[in-house]
Structure 1
Amino acid sequence: MNTTVYIYSPPTPPTMDDARTTLPALLLSLVLTLAVVPAGVAGTQTAQDTLTVDKDGSAEYQSIQAAVNAADSGDTVEVRPGTYREEVRINESITLVAPDRAILGGSRFVNGTGVTVAGAADANVTGFTVRNYRFGVAANETSGDWTVTDTTVIAADVGVYAPNTAGNWTIEDAAVASTTYSGVFVRGTSGDWTIRDTRFVNVGGDGVDVRKSSGDWTVATVVVDRSGADGVDASGTTGDWTVRNTEVRRSNTGVKAIDSGGNWTVTDLTVHRSDTGLVTAFSGGAWTLEDSTLETRDIGVFTARTTGAWTIQNTTIESQQQGIHAVNTNASWTVSESTISVTAEQNAIGVDARSASGDWSLTDVTIESPGIEVAE
């Protein structure tokens, strides 16, 4: 009879030398295991790629649109110098950049658009010169927080066409010149958007047309020179808005807001060689105009039938006909530390407040004109 005897021996505790030997092997095994785990299991982070475009064929892509179509959200499409005669449509949240000023040329298109941003894309378009399109950049009815930076639009019907948008988009360090209509056409917007450090030169309509919008927006460090209409037209709007460090030259009006309901803050506005500096009527919001200079042919500040309180301070108004026209206003007015000069030899009025029903306060105000009318 054969008998098998099992003898139990307790395991020997590992030593530090064993740990030094086995730990690197275990770590290597873990790394190799993670390397073959599907991305959906190991994590969701995806590397961001840069796709390059060069029309001479020396890069990954010869056309911008082909690279944009291949890009995923978060990627960058980098366009090398040259003139690209195409229309580009962006549907993803990508960066489209031309570090050395690539040109988009649209002369071969009828009613073409240089760059279209669509849907909810948080796209960034930067560094381009866009010429001879109907719309330089179009983003109408979008909901994304897109940006257009360091981009110039020349010889378009409209520089940036973005009506009915809901996103908090930004136009920055840009320029629009020689358009048939407005520099930026953004009627019916509801987002809190910003235009800053941007120039509009020789535009056929308004520098910025933001009529019938409801968001709270900011126009800052903007120059409008030679517009066919107004620097900023925000008539029919309801948002609380800010215009600061902005200059309007050779236009109808610096800032216009007929039938608006929001509160306005206008700081460091310069209007030169234009008909009127600031125009509002049938408006209900409070207005503040400060640290500004209005040199106009007709009227510095024109208001009529407004119900919001007004504050004008540290402002110089030089006009030919009237400094402040405030007929039929129904709120308090405070004018302080300001100078009003009217130069017309006949019918010149420094402050015209006939039929105004609110309380008026003029403190440290110098008025140089043949006549003055202020409501009691």
Structure 2
Amino acid sequence: MDDARTTLLALLLSVVLTVAVLPTSVAGAQTGQETLTVNKDGSADYRSIQAAVNAANSGDTVEVQPGTYYEAVRVNESITLVAPDRAILDGSRFVNGTGITVVGTANPNVTGFTVRNYRFGVAANGTNGDWTLTETTVIAADVGVYAPNASGNWTIEDAAIARTTYSGVFARGTGGDWTIRDTRFVDVGGDGADVRKSSGDWTVSAVVVDRSGADGIDASGTSGDWRVQDTEVRQSDTGVKAIDSGGDWTVTDLTVRRSDTGLVTAFSSGAWTVSNATLDTRDIGVFAARTTGAWSVRNATIESSQQGIHAVKTNASWILSDSTITVTAERNAIGVDARSASEGWSLTDVTIESSGIKVAE
């Protein structure tokens, strides 16, 4: 019995010592959390990002060392793809290439890259996984993030998208809950984010859209609930557009400057709560014609050329309080236009100023 016990103890000790001296990558592989490194000069595990991604299993990390990689990377596993020192993905050698493509049900975390000169910087068309894009810059693409018809819950955080031909984020027809946080869109040819006809709930927080060819956010035809907070839109057609939308909206600390219109929604049915907004626009501060949801606007500063609030033929109660509306047109200036509204209006501590001939409430 003692000999058997001694033999068993010796075997267990041998196993422990063997695991202790295994290389990190091998030991990690046993736990499903291997780190695979990439460097073009041959000093790492792999020379190409795609080769490392192909070798990675779910839960692994692919760490890309500094350099410029002329690749189109396809990710179909739930891995972490990280460039801790800002590796560059460059698509200048491709025709209609995509920097990073996420497919299927994968839930990758992509972080730290500069992606430039692709048709799509990041693409996830029709996917249903939950994935995250962080600390990544997309420059000189047709579209920064292209993800129509996706059903997963996505997060874009601490990112920047600049100099796109079309939208910064194109995500029409999506069904998941999305978050865009601490992200800048600069000089985009279309909308900052085009998410028309989506059904999920969206959060937009600490986002800046500076110089878009269309709208800051176009959420027309959406049915989910929206939260927009601490966001600024400059030099766009509209700050936020949500025509024919069905969800409830909470807008806090929104600033729209040097744009045609601040908020645009018509034929929408959801309730809107707007607070601490600054809308400095060329035409109209808030356009909300033919809406059927209740509105509350508090602590707003609206300065526009033609109309402060256009709420013709609305069919729900409005609360407007602690706000200042200034209209600068020399003729036909209107502070609040609520003609043919069928429900009551409440104005408390509201100042309406105009340098023009007509100010109507």
TM above 0.5: yes
Q: Distance in 2 between matches of 1:289 and 1:96?
A: 38
Aligned to 1:97: 82
Q: Residue 373 of structure 1 corresponds to which residue in structure 2?
A: 360
1:311-322 equivalences under 5 Å are 311-322=296-307
2:32/2:58 contact within 8 Å kept = no
Once the two structures are superposed, residues 238-293 of structure 1 have per-residue CA deviations (whole angstroms, 9 ceiling, x without a partner) of 00111110000000000000000000011100000000000000000000110110
SS of alignment partner, residue 265 of structure 2: strand
What do residues 291-343 of structure 1 show as CA deviations (whole Å, max 9, x unaligned)?
11000000000011110000000110011110000001111000011111111
Of residues 131, 154, 173, the one that matches 1:146 is 131
Contact 1:354-1:373 at 8 Å conserved across structures: no
- 1:47 deviates by 3.5
**How far apart are the structure 2 equivalents of 1:76 and 1:287?**
43
> CA shift at 1:30, angstroms?
5.1
- The aligned amino acid for 1:336 is S
Q: Does 1:165 align with 2:150?
A: yes
Q: Deviations over 1:8-34 (max 9, x none)?
A: xxxxxx9xxx9xx99776544556689
Q: Equivalent residue for 1:293?
A: 278
For 1:45 and 1:353, the matched residues in 2 are separated by: 68
1:196 maps to 2:181: yes
Which ranges in structure 1 are unaligned for 5 or more consecutive residues? 1-13, 37-43
Matches within 5 A, 1:88-127: 88-127=73-112
Q: Choose from 114, 119, 131 the match for 2:116.
A: 131
Residues 199 and 323 (structure 1), Cα distance of their counterparts in 2 relative to 1, 3 Å cut: same
Partner Cα separation in structure 2 for residue 47 and residue 225 of structure 1 = 42
Number of residues of Structure 1 aligned to a counterpart in Structure 2:
349
Pick from 299, 317, 328 the counterpart of residue 313 of structure 2: 328
Give 3-state SS (helix, strand or coil) of 2:273's partner. Answer: strand
Contact 1:352/1:372, CA 8 A, preserved across alignment: no
Is residue 213 of structure 1 aligned with residue 209 of structure 2? no
Structure ID, larger Rg: 1
The answer to whether the aligner puts 1:83 opposite 2:56 as a matched pair is: no
- Equivalent residues of 2:145, 2:168 under 8 A apart: yes
TM-score (norm 1): 0.89
Q: How much identity, in percent, do the aligned residues show? A: 77
Structure 1 residue 209: deviation in Å?
0.4
1:243-282 superposed matches below 5 A: 243-282=228-267
**Does residue 240 in structure 1 map to residue 225 in structure 2?**
yes
Q: Secondary structure at the match of 1:69?
A: helix
For structure 2, the residue ranges without an aligned partner over 5 or more in a row are 19-28
State the SS of the aligned residue for 2:288.
Answer: strand
User: What's the offset of the Cα at 1:189?
Assistant: 0.7
Q: Deviations over 1:48-92 (max 9, x none)?
A: 111010011111111100000000000000101111001000000
Between the aligned partners of 1:175 and 1:202, the Cα distance in structure 2 is: 11
Secondary structure at the aligned position of 1:346 is classed as coil
Q: Is residue 50 of structure 1 aligned with residue 32 of structure 2? A: no
Shift of 1:108: 1.1
Q: Name segments (4+ residues, structure 1) moved above 4 Å.
A: 21-36
Q: CA deviation at 1:140?
A: 1.0
For each residue in 1:98-119, what CA deviation from the matched residue of structure 2 results, as whole angstroms up to 9, or x when unmatched? 0101000101111100000001
Residue number in structure 2 paired with 1:309 = 294
CA RMSD of aligned residues (A): 2.0
Task: State the alpha-carbon separation in 1 of the partners of residues 16 and 37 from structure 2.
Answer: 31
Contact (CA 8 Å) 2:32, 2:57: kept in 1 or not? no
> Which among 160, 163, 176 is matched to residue 178 of structure 1?
163
Amino acid at match of 2:163: S
Q: 1:345, CA displacement in angstroms?
A: 1.1
Q: Is the 8 A contact 1:141 1:162 kept in 2?
A: yes
Which residue in 1 is equivalent to 2:342? 357
Hey, what's the Cα distance between the residues in 2 that align with 1:210 and 1:123?
A: 22
